[in-house]
Structure 1
Amino acid sequence: MSRYRPPRSAGTALITPAGEAALRAELHELWNVQRPKVTQSVSEAAAQGDRSENAEYTYGKKMLRQIDSRVRFLTKRLEKLQVVTERPADINKVYFGAWVTLEDDEGEEVRYQIVGPDEFDLKKQQISIDAPLARALVGKNLDAEVVVHTPEGEKTWYIIEISYPTYED
């Protein structure tokens, strides 16, 4: 008997042009490069005979299922996503796509870009618009105080800079 797992929430359907390009590149790589290689290796493994004890065949079929699952997800997700290519009317407030520099009570600064849930990457200082910090920042002006509830308690930041990337068509 399998264990039921509710489907993961897809999150906000916004994405930056760079994020969309990355998802399309991943889809292309999976469909046009990885899947044909795995299909070829499965065919070669199947030609060896007994499939019940053939590890290469079993592993290849598993890889095909994983690739096909990710391809289905990316195809459906890309259809629903809205690519944000324009800056907001009021660039003095924090909205989707903004780079925001924050300062905490100790004077330490951090800088984040607010991006879609499909493209967040903390190593690149990109946080999801669905994250608690981003939700607290959206709509705030320069010099605003932002309080976020964290597992360690309340954390206060001050917005010291807001900038937006320029999108080229």
Structure 2
Amino acid sequence: MASKPLGPPITPPGMAALKARYDHLLGKERPEIVEIVSWAAGNGDRSENGDYLYGRKRMREIDRELAYLSGRMKACRVVDPSQQPDKARVFFGAKVELADEDDERMHVQIVGDDEQDAGCGKVGWSSPIAKAVKGASIGDCRKVKLPGGVKEWEVMAISYD
């Protein structure tokens, strides 16, 4: 019998953010839109009622996002980086300091694809940088294929918080 494949990884804060967004949409935004649509529907002709038409459109958008979030929360596998047994190598959840050929430093954390935010230094598990440094130890050099060309990075530090 085949085992169920593991879902994409996500950190505990990443899962909490998905759940918070889901709860906000379901508990606050959707009920407000339902109230507006109900009120607008009682105003007569719906074909030219902007509140009704916008409300229905927004409700469909919210329902689509709720379905997406629900599916992601079911599919994702929560991985706590602090429980990583081999903290000397780069795995999911690692905070990594990298240096390029010019000794320019970059700090990244390897997180789930649903929680990536390059502006905050969070790179997705499937990103080119994450793929290149997976399994690396301090001192290892890895080439990263980027849109601007290939760049070499050296792993300077690894931590798991």
TM-score category of the 2 structures, normalised to the smaller one: over 0.9
* Structure 2 residue identity aligned to 1:42: V
TM-score of the pair, normalised by structure 1: 0.88
- Same amino acid, percent of matched pairs: 39
Given candidates 141, 152, 155, the residue that maps to 1:159 is 155
Partner of 2:63: helix, strand, or coil?
helix
Given candidates 54, 57, 63, the residue that maps to 1:62 is 57
| Structure with greater proportional helix content | 2
**1:89-108 Cα deviation digits (max 9, x unpaired):** 21110000000000011111
Matches within 5 A, 1:7-22: 13-22=8-17
Tell me the distance in 1 between the aligned counterparts of 2:21 and 2:116. Answer: 15
Report how far residue 55 of structure 1 moved: 1.1
Partner of 2:107: helix, strand, or coil?
strand
TM-score of the pair, normalised by structure 2: 0.93
* Structure 2 residue identity aligned to 1:159: V
Tell me the distance in 1 between the aligned counterparts of 2:106 and 2:149. Answer: 19
* Structure 2 residue identity aligned to 1:80: A
Which residue is equivalent to 1:5?
Answer: none
- Stretches of structure 2 that go unaligned for 5 or more consecutive residues are 1-6
Tell me the distance in 2 between the aligned counterparts of 1:138 and 1:156. Answer: 14
Which residue is equivalent to 1:3?
Answer: none
Matches within 5 A, 1:73-84: 73-84=68-79
Tell me the distance in 1 between the aligned counterparts of 2:104 and 2:45. Answer: 63
Which residue is equivalent to 2:26?
Answer: 31
Across the two proteins, how many residue pairs are aligned to each other?
Answer: 154
Report how far residue 87 of structure 1 moved: 2.6
